[in-house]
Amino acid sequence: MTARTLYDKLWDEHVVHTEEDGTAVLYIDRHLVHEVTSPQAFEGLREAGRTLWRTSSVVATADHNTPTDGWELGLDGIRDPISKEQVVTLDANIKAFGSAAYFPFMSQRQGIVHVVGPENGATLPGMTVVCGDSHTSTHGAFGALAHGIGTSEVEHVLATQTLLAKKAKNMLVRVDGELARGLTAKDIVLAIIGRIGTAGGTGYTIEFGGSAIRALSMEGRMTVCNMAIEAGARAGLVAVDDKTIDYVQGRPFAPQGVEWDLAVAHWRTLHSDAGAHFDKVVELDAAQIKPQVTWGTSPEMVLAIDERVPDPDKEKDSVKRAAIERALTYMGLEPNKAIDDIRVDKVFIGSCTNSRIEDMREAAAVVQRVGGRIAANIRQALVVPGSGLVKAQAEAEGLDKVFIAAGFEWRQPGCSMCLAMNADRLEPGERCASTSNRNFEGRQGNGGRTHLVSPAMAAAAAMAGHFVDIRRIA
């Protein structure tokens, strides 16, 4: 048999039918649902008089619109009427159509859908996983074929358990070697995007491999796959190994007993075969990666902490020069400014990229190591765990106390300041060190300025008031 990539295997296992033009009908194992992209899909089902094809595939939660404080007010705490309606509508739809699990607003296991899925074992190796959300790529960390879909596709999957899809090409991003102290998965993925650009992965499914990826925890692998979409690839993948299987074992949705043994035997095959063909291979040396900070309005506008903001006058390509000028103006930055000279107003530690327990630990460790309180120029420093379970675990470890003692706000789970869909946002002109994944204009609030960094770098920026080289602290 010809050698196949992990992506080839996952694809082959789920294709129900392929048309002559290559359009395939793909069977979907897990459908994650949140309140923003599901209302019209359920409405479509209602209008057509349809029910769910397989209720047991649906796992739902509310995350984008939910407030991260004031929970004692209940639904009244959601001030924006459209946000509130989406949360209430999800409740009604899940009640009417059913699901395998629903973690509603304020329930103990509520959280960001991409944190909730894996931690409940709803995301398993070998699955096809979809959600009406571009960061569904996160789940590829488990050796699952996972990608975002649009609202009309959400309806299609709810009704038929299948999706029309065309196979992407195979790309391997291999990161070998050892990271410097204090560096994390976030630095790896930002460095990858800095190298290949936000269109570098367009048309591909990216498998992340190499010793530096192997060395990452499942949390770290999720951080990397989360941002595959920011590199243009709808899906990212990491091969299954012992860490994957250990992480999954014992979670509520994980198989048990004989089924577990059978599943593990299958999961052990979920890696690319030796000699499998990749259409494109990119290699990075982990030892060369430095702490990463984005300076502009696209994730590919990223530099190392010891570099300087670009000077448009040095750019010969007029299109690129214009893009740099525009980004610098929006970001309120002077050309050639040293990255570690950039002062921030707010700090956000959270989002589906970096709100898992390991992220909380890394940030808290930096706060403890530096000691004292957040810098005087920091107007607000938010720590937002990705789920109620992450929050409970962090509190059991006393991390909340570390943050609060230093002047951070310890919030309830949700998407929070990752995007301006709830009360957590930047005011015009405010500058934020953020552990999220997008730094587009207005992403964290109209006129807000986002610098994407790792949790450790964000915590260090909160303590210093400006970006600092985490290697000096770690």
Q: Which residues are annotated as a binding site for [4Fe-4S] cluster?
A: 352, 415, 418
CB of 362 to ligand IPM, least distance (A): 22
CB of 63 to ligand SF4, least distance (A): 6
Structural contact between residues 289 and 188, judged by C-beta atoms closer than 8 angstroms: yes
Name 329's Cβ contacts closer than 8 Å, sequence gap at least 6: none
With CB under 5 to 8 Å by kind, the binding choice for 436 among ligand SF4, ligand IPM, none is ligand SF4
Near ligand IPM by CB under 6 A: residue from 26, 28, 36, 327: 36
With CB under 5 to 8 Å by kind, the binding choice for 14 among ligand SF4, ligand IPM, none is none
Only segment of 133-141, 188-196, 248-256, 424-432 that touches ligand IPM (CB under 6 A): 133-141
With CB under 5 to 8 Å by kind, the binding choice for 412 among ligand SF4, ligand IPM, none is none
Near ligand IPM by CB under 6 A: residue from 135, 234, 356, 391: 135
φ, ψ of residue 88 to 5 degrees: the values are -65, -40
**Number of chain positions touching ligand IPM (CB under 6 A):** 8
Does 148 help bind ligand IPM (rule: CB under 6 A)?
A: yes
With CB under 5 to 8 Å by kind, the binding choice for 36 among ligand IPM, ligand SF4, none is ligand IPM
Provide the binding-site residues for ligand SF4, judged by CB under 6 A. Answer: 63-64, 112, 114, 133, 135, 351-352, 415, 418-419, 436-437
Nearest alpha carbon to residue 210 among 188, 242, 194: 188
Residue whose token pair is 């990075």: 284
Does 64 help bind ligand IPM (rule: CB under 6 A)?
A: yes
Nearest alpha carbon to residue 189 among 336, 352, 403, 64: 352
> 3-class SS at 73?
helix
With CB under 5 to 8 Å by kind, the binding choice for 272 among ligand IPM, ligand SF4, none is none
Q: How far apart are CA 234 and CA 2, in angstroms?
A: 25
**Between the CA of residue 233 and those of 136, 144, 184, what are the distances in Å?**
11, 15, 21
Kind of pairing, strands 162-166 and 23-27?
antiparallel
- If the CB atoms of residues 109 and 135 are measured against ligand IPM, the closer one turns out to be 135
126: left (phi over 0), alpha (psi -120 to 50) or beta: left
Residue whose token pair is 């390991």: 358
With CB under 5 to 8 Å by kind, the binding choice for 356 among ligand SF4, ligand IPM, none is none
- The token pair at 363 is 């940030």
With CB under 5 to 8 Å by kind, the binding choice for 170 among ligand SF4, ligand IPM, none is none
- If the CB atoms of residues 209 and 414 are measured against ligand SF4, the closer one turns out to be 414
214's enclosing H/E stretch is helix 211-214
CB of 82 to ligand IPM, least distance (A): 13
Angle between helices 81-97 and 39-48 (to 10 degrees): 40
Q: How far apart are CA 421 and CA 353, in angstroms?
A: 17
| Residue set of the binding site | 352, 415, 418
Q: Which residue is nearest to ligand IPM (CB)?
A: 134
CB atoms within 10 A of CB 435: 30
- If the CB atoms of residues 415 and 433 are measured against ligand IPM, the closer one turns out to be 415
Name 242's Cβ contacts closer than 8 Å, sequence gap at least 6: none
Only segment of 40-48, 132-140, 198-206, 364-372 that touches ligand IPM (CB under 6 A): 132-140
State the binding string over 88-127 for ligand IPM (x if CB under 6 A, else -).
Answer: ----------------------------------------
With CB under 5 to 8 Å by kind, the binding choice for 116 among ligand SF4, ligand IPM, none is none
Q: How far apart are CA 190 and CA 176, in angstroms?
A: 16
Q: How far apart are CA 431 and CA 48, in angstroms?
A: 47
* Contact set with ligand IPM (CB under 6 A): 36-37, 64, 133-135, 148, 419
